[in-house]
Structure 1
Amino acid sequence: MHNVRLDSVDATPRPLLAIGTDYAPGTLLDFHVHRRAQMLYAMTGLMEVETDDGAWLIPPYSGVWIPAGKRHQVRMQGASTRSLYIEPDAAPRIGNYCEVLVISALLHELLLASLTMPALYDEAGRDGALAQLLLHEVGLAPTMPLFAPIPQDPLLAKLCKAFLSAPHIQTTPEQWAGRLNKSLRTFTRLFRQQTGMSFSEWRQQACLLAALAKLAAGQSVTQIALDLGYDSSSAFSTMFRRRLGQAPSNFIRAS
C-alpha cells in the first residue's frame, strides 16, 4: 500500500499492515499515538522523532521502533518511508521505549516487497509468509545509540531541549548547575537520576544527533566540528567513529 492513511485500514484483521509514504522536506507529524506498534523506516532523508521520554534522530537506511500507544511526533526531512503497523499482541519487540534499529540488507528487501501487500492479504499465501518474516526480522534487528533522554524535572527538561536545538561540546555541568541554582554535586546526581546518563555522555549524544542532521544537510565535517565546539575536525571524527563505527565521510556518502 502506498500513501494510504492508517485509519482507513487500521481495523483490518491482520497482525501486520505495510504502508509506504512520501513526505515533503520539513513535514511535521505532530504528537499522536497509534493503537498498533510501528516500525518506521527511512529509505531516503532524515527523521527526527520526539516522545515524552526523549529525542531520536533516524538517518537513512535506519528504522525506529515505536511501541503501541507511545505518544510521539516525527519531523520528516525529505523522507520516503516504509511503515509496518503491528498489532500489540504480535509485536516482536518488548519494552516501552522507542529504539533506533539497524536495517539489514534482508529486512530492507522485505520492506521493499511489502509495498505490494494489500491490507487484507492472504495469511496462508506469499504475503502471509512475508508478514511473518518481517515480524521475525524486526525482532532480531540490533539497535543504534542515537537517543538523548529528556528528564521529567521541568527546569532540567527545558535546559535539555534548548541544548538539543543548539548543542556545544564545551558546555560544562558547572554552567548548568549554576543556572539551576544547585551545587555541582547535586546537579550531577540529579542529571543521572533523571536521564540514566552522566552529563558528559548526554552532551556528546546530543552533539552526535545534531551532527547527523548537519551531515545529511550537506554541511562539511570541518564546519560541523567548529559549530559543535570541537577543537578540530579530527577530534570530532574520532568521536563519530567511536560511537557509530564509521567516519562522518562514510555517513555522507550513505545518506
Structure 2
Amino acid sequence: MHIDVRNDWLSHVDEVPRALVASNAVANLEALEKSPRHHHEKAQLLFTVRGVINCEVDDAVWIVPPQCAVWIPGGLPHTVFGSGEVECLSLFIDPPESADLPKECCTITVSAFFRHLLLRANELPELYDPDGPDGRIVSVIFDELAVAPIEDLRLPIPSDPRLKKLTDLLIAAPADRATVAQWASRVALSERSLSRLLTEEVGMSFGRWRRQLHIVLALRHLSAGETVQAVAMDLGYESASSFVTMFRKMVGKPPSRYLLERRGPVPADHGE
C-alpha cells in the first residue's frame, strides 16, 4: 500500500471544508517507496506508528522514528519515503488562525494521549460536525499539536554544489574517518572555506553536521532491527560505547532507551 499522493486525491483533500481530513487508513507498508515530489494547500501531519519515515524538502531531510510525527506546512513541496517496514497515519490539517501550530517543517514527539487522539481522528467521518463531539476532538488535537515537543531530527542539506557533493560522499561512506581538511580537498575546497560555507548554509560546524548525519543513519538502521554494535561499526566508531556516547550527546539519551520509549503498544482497534 502506498501513501496516496495522486493529484486527484490531493485536490480532494484540499477541497474538503473541514479543519482536519484523515486518510482513513493506517497504512501497513513493507517498503514505502519514495513519493513523487508534491504539495497540498492543507498542512500534513504524518505519524509513524512503526518503522522510520523520511521527509525531504529543499533544504533538509526530516527523520520520523516510531511514535513521532512530521509536521509539513501547507504549500511546502516535499517527498516522503520509508526505511524498512513502516506503519503510518496521515492527517491533513487546515487549522483556525487562532491555533498556535508550527510554522516550519519539524519532527515532534507524540505522547500516548496524543497518539490515541490521532488514531481516533482517523475514524472521523469526512464531513464531521465541527460543533459536535467530533469537532471537540479536533480542537484537542490542535491543542496537543501546539505543545508537542520538537525533536532535533533534521539533517540540513546545503545548496552549494560542492557541499551537496560532500553530502553524497559522506552518505556513501559514513565510516570514512578522513579529517576535515581531507574531506575539503575532495570537493576542491580549503578547510577554512568548507567551514565557512557550512556555517553560512546549515549553521553547523563540519563535526556537528556529520554527527547529525550519523544520527539520521543510525535511526534508520536501528529501527530496522540492526544492533547497536553493528550500527557503530557501519558508521566507523571504534566501539559501541563511543557511538552510544555520541548518540546520547546529540539526542539526550542512549539509543536503546530512545527506541524503547518509541515502541509502545498500539491499540487493537486502530483499524487493523
Normalising by structure 2, report the TM-score: 0.85
Residue equivalent to 2:37: 31
> By how many angstroms is 1:109 displaced?
1.1
Task: Name the aligned partner's letter for residue 67 of structure 2.
Answer: Y
Residue equivalent to 1:76: 82
**Residue 86 in structure 1 maps to residue 93 in structure 2:** yes
1:117-156 deviation line (CA, Å, top 9, x unaligned)? 1111101111100111111111111111111101111221
Q: Secondary structure at the match of 2:37?
A: strand
Task: Name the aligned partner's letter for residue 205 of structure 1.
Answer: Q
Task: Name the aligned partner's letter for residue 185 of structure 1.
Answer: R
2:48–2:88 CA contact under 8 A, matched in 1: yes
1:51-108 deviation line (CA, Å, top 9, x unaligned)? 111112211100111111111111123322222211266464243x311101112211
> By how many angstroms is 1:246 displaced?
2.8
1:169-227 deviation line (CA, Å, top 9, x unaligned)? 72432122212322211221111101111110000000011011111121111111111
Residue equivalent to 1:58: 64
Give the aligned CA root-mean-square deviation in angstroms.
2.0
- Aligned partners of 2:205 and 2:224: how far apart in 1? 29
| Structure with greater proportional strand content | 1
Task: Name the aligned partner's letter for residue 75 of structure 2.
Answer: G
Q: How does 1:121-136 map to 2 (within 5 A)?
A: 121-136=128-143
Given the superposition, is the C-alpha separation of residues 9 and 49 from structure 1 closer, same or farther in structure 2, using an over 3 Å criterion? Answer: closer
Q: Secondary structure at the match of 1:17?
A: strand
- Aligned partners of 1:126 and 1:72: how far apart in 2? 33
1:148–1:205 CA contact under 8 A, matched in 2: yes
**Residue 196 in structure 1 maps to residue 219 in structure 2:** no
Residue equivalent to 1:41: 47
**Residue 150 in structure 1 maps to residue 154 in structure 2:** no
- Aligned partners of 1:21 and 1:8: how far apart in 2? 19
- Aligned partners of 1:189 and 1:155: how far apart in 2? 13
Normalising by structure 1, report the TM-score: 0.90
1:23–1:76 CA contact under 8 A, matched in 2: no
- Aligned partners of 1:139 and 1:162: how far apart in 2? 38
Given the superposition, is the C-alpha separation of residues 127 and 225 from structure 1 closer, same or farther in structure 2, using an over 3 Å criterion? Answer: same
In structure 1, stretches of 5+ residues that fail to align are none
- Aligned partners of 2:172 and 2:128: how far apart in 1? 43
- Aligned partners of 1:123 and 1:210: how far apart in 2? 42
2:165–2:187 CA contact under 8 A, matched in 1: no
- Percent identity between matched residues is 38
User: 2:117 aligned to 89, 110, 117, which one?
Assistant: 110
- Aligned partners of 2:208 and 2:225: how far apart in 1? 26
Q: Alignment length, in residue pairs?
A: 252
Given the superposition, is the C-alpha separation of residues 247 and 158 from structure 1 closer, same or farther in structure 2, using an over 3 Å criterion? Answer: same
Given the superposition, is the C-alpha separation of residues 173 and 114 from structure 1 closer, same or farther in structure 2, using an over 3 Å criterion? Answer: same
> By how many angstroms is 1:251 displaced?
4.0
Task: Name the aligned partner's letter for residue 18 of structure 1.
Answer: A
1:46–1:58 CA contact under 8 A, matched in 2: yes
Residue equivalent to 2:14: 10
- Aligned partners of 2:173 and 2:125: how far apart in 1? 43
Task: Name the aligned partner's letter for residue 160 of structure 2.
Answer: D
